[in-house]
Amino acid sequence: MKISFYGAVEDVTGSCHLLTVNDADGHEHQLLIDCGMFQGEQLCSTKNVQPFPFDASHLESVFVTHPHADHTGRLPVLVKAGFAGKIYMTEPCLSLSRLVLEDAHHIMEEDAKKCGSPTLYELEDLHGVFDQTKQIAYHEEITIAPGVTVMFHDAGHVLGSAYISIEAEGKRVVFSGDIGNDDVPILPPTDPISHADVVVCESTYGHKVHEDPATRSSLLKDAMIESIQQNGVLLIPAFSIERTQEVLYEMDLILRDLKTKAPIYLDSPMAIKATQLYRDFKAYLRFQSPILDEPDRDFFSFPNLHETLSTDASKQINDAPAPKIIIAGSGMMNGGRIMHHLQRYLPLASTTILVIGYQAAGTIGRQIFEGAKTVRIYGQAVQVHAKIKGIGAFSAHGDQNKLTRWMKPEDGVIPKKIFLVHGDDDAKVEFAEHLRKELKTEVLIPKEGMTVEL
C-alpha cells in the first residue's frame, strides 16, 4: 500500500491523493481521493493546465469528499484524460458539485479568453463526470475488490461532505477531506473516527483556535448594528456553499430582535442556487433552533432579504441608499460580483468588510485581510479605507482543538502515521509540532509528488 500526494501539499488547494493497494488476490488497484482545482489564480493558469502525474486510464475509482472546487474542479480534466471508472460521492454532494463545476466551466471560458489559453475541458467532459458518478450514503460499505472496502463518514464541513476510510492489506487509512467546525448551526457534528492506522488530515487552521462558536451570532449582530448606525455598507464576501447559508440562518435569528429596514442583498447566482439545494436536502441538516416551526418554514429567508439573480438586479444594488448589507461571492475576493462592490465601497471609511472564511495566498482577499492599503481590481488601483473585520467562528474548517480531538479514535489507539495536507506551510509546521507533543505519534508533511509506502 502506498500514498502519492499530487495536490494540496505545498499549497492549500488542488486536493488530489492517489492510494495504491493490493486486494486479497494480489491484484493492484489505484484509487483517487479528490481531484481539485488549484485556486488563487486563473483557472487556465500553469498549475491547472499541467498533465496529471499518473495515468488517468489506470485509475479504478475516484472518491469525492465534498463539492468545493479545490476538491472537484479537475474531475472533468480527469475524464478528458481517459478516466472511465466510477466516481463516488454523496447525493447532496452530487447536486452541489454539478453547480460548482458548471459555474467553474463558465468562469474558465472567460479566463481562457483573457489569458489566451485553451479551455481545460469541454462540456462533454463535464457531463461525463456525472455519467460516471454513483451516489453513496454515509456508512454504506463499498467493496472495490476482495479485501478492499471504502466508507463515507459525515465530515460536518458542508452539506453532503465526507471523510473517507479505506481498508486494505490489513490497514485502515482515513482521508479527512475538510473537517467541519464545532457547533455548526445547520449541520450534524463530524462523525468520530472509530479506528485508523494512518490519517491524511487537512490543516487549514491547524495553527489557530477559533472564537467560541457561541460568539459568531453576537459578532455578526454587532457588525450589522455598527454599519446601520454609521449609515454604511456591510460587505460580506462569502463562499456560495455553506458559509452563505450559515450567515443567512444567523441573520434570520438576529432579525427577530434587531428591528431594521436596511436591505440585505444576496448577490450571487451560485449562492442563490446552492441555498435552494440546501432547502431541497434539509433532511441532511440539523438546526440549533426550531426555525422550521416558523410560519414560512424557511430557514434561509426573511423580509429584508433580496436575492439578485440577474445582472440587472445586481446593478440596482448600487442605487439603493445606505445602510445596506451585501453578501456576495467569491469568498476569497478573487472573482465574482464582490469585486464590483469592492471597487465601489473599499475607498469609503463607512464600509465594513466582514471576512468569514479562509483567504488563500495570492488572492485580493488575503491582501485586504493582511492590511493592504491599496489593491488592484480589474487593472485599477483601489484605495482601502474600509474597516476590515473577521469572524473565525464562521469558518467551515475545524481549528487545532477540533482536528486534534478528531484524530483520537474511539478505540483509543492513536494512528501510527499522520500526514498533514491542505494548509499553509506555517500552519502545517506548527500543527505537526503540536500533534507530536499531544498524540506522541509520527507526523509527516509531504512534498508535491511524494510517494510513501505504508
Residue 292, pLDDT > 90, answer no
Under 8 Å between Cβ of 185 and 254: no
pLDDT tens, position by position, 53-96: 999 999 999 999 999 999 999 999 999 999 999 999 999 999 99
Domains and CATH numbers, the chain: 2-208+396-453 (3.60.15.10), 215-394 (3.40.50.10890)
Residue 115, pLDDT > 70, answer no
- Report the chain's mean pLDDT, rounded to a whole number: 93
pLDDT tens, position by position, 138-148: 999 999 999 99
Say what percent of the chain tops pLDDT 70.
95
pLDDT of residue 311: 94
Q: What would the mean pLDDT of 424-432 be, rounded to a whole number?
A: 96
pLDDT tens, position by position, 256-282: 889 899 999 999 999 999 999 998 998
pLDDT of residue 81: 97
DSSP secondary structure, 109-142, as one string = HHHHHHHTPPPS--HHHHHHHHHSEEE--TT--E
Looking at the DSSP assignment, which residues form a beta bridge with residue 234?
Answer: 325, 352
Q: What would the mean pLDDT of 228-257 be, rounded to a whole number?
A: 93
pLDDT confidence tier of residue 48, bands split at 50, 70 and 90:
confident
Q: How far apart are CA 60 and CA 63, in angstroms?
A: 10
Sequence-ordered list of residues with C-beta below 8 angstroms from that of 14, at least 6 positions apart, any chain: 7, 8, 36, 37, 38, 39, 47, 70, 74
Residue 105, pLDDT > 70, answer yes
